[in-house]
Amino acid sequence: MAEIPTAAISRLVTYLRILEQLEAQDVSRTSSSDLAERAGVSAFQVRKDLAYFGRFGTRGMGYTVAILKRELVRVLGLNQTWNVVIVGMGRLGQAIANYPGASDYQFQYAGLFDVSPAIVGQQIRNLTVRHMDDLKTFVAQNKVDMGFLAVPPDRAQDAAQALVSAGVRGILNFAPVVIQPPTEGGAQEISDEWRAVIIENVDFLAGMKRLAFYILNPHLKDAPLTEDTE
């Protein structure tokens, strides 16, 4: 399989959301032009993104909404259960835990963790908040695929290390800080336990800054994408 740009994966998620909306409206067929208009990209970009993963449409007839949706669900790995732990059960962590849409895509909250005596022991979504000291044992005894970080910036690196050391290989970081994989040796190579770890950052403040820029420069947001951007 050819190298797939990160931006293309992000667009697949957008296409899937559009297909779900079309299906809810009882629309049975769509086209690259229609998807492109709804996603704010070019039809060429839609076809290119989908072509990374196979052939899903019929020339001149477009795509069957239900079939393309099913295939994108498969490509994105949303046809299997993903067990998630949340580290940091303050207001943000609780909001994430109570978000109703996660289970629609097979994301299942398996454990909740914090260090605050005021929070540890609380019941949230029928789960008891555990102390971080229990994380490694919990992961060893339960299949955990992902960890969500909802901790203060100065705690994020240590919390990420605790997840990785416990064996978690996917981290969704909500803290407004860049997680730095530790390096070792003279060549400053990433340590073995971090080599297979995938980190995604969700930075609300960065999004607000981009929004401010585009409000001031709306003409820069108007042009449809014609090629992959990172």
CATH architecture of the domain with residue range 6-76 = Orthogonal Bundle (1.10)
Cβ contacts of 179 within 8 Å, gap of 6 or more: 149, 156, 157, 160, 171, 173, 199, 201
Given the structure tokens 């969700």, which residue do they identify?
202
Establish whether 121 is an annotated binding residue: no
Separation of alpha carbons 199 and 104, rounded Å: 22
In terms of CATH, what superfamily is 82-208?
NAD(P)-binding Rossmann-like Domain (3.40.50.720)
Q: How far is CA 115 from the centre of its chain?
A: 25
Establish whether 92 is an annotated binding residue: yes
Establish whether 186 is an annotated binding residue: no
Establish whether 90 is an annotated binding residue: yes
Establish whether 210 is an annotated binding residue: no
Instruction: Give residue limits of the domains in the chain.
Output: 6-76, 82-208
Q: What tens-digit pLDDT sequence spans the chain (230 residues)?
A: 568 888 999 999 999 999 999 999 999 999 999 999 999 999 999 999 999 998 887 777 899 999 999 999 999 999 999 999 999 999 999 999 998 878 778 899 999 999 999 999 999 989 999 999 999 999 999 999 999 999 999 999 999 999 999 999 999 999 999 998 888 765 678 888 898 999 999 988 888 998 999 899 988 875 544 444 44
Alpha helices in 57-191 (DSSP H): 65-75, 91-97, 135-141, 153-166
Establish whether 1 is an annotated binding residue: no
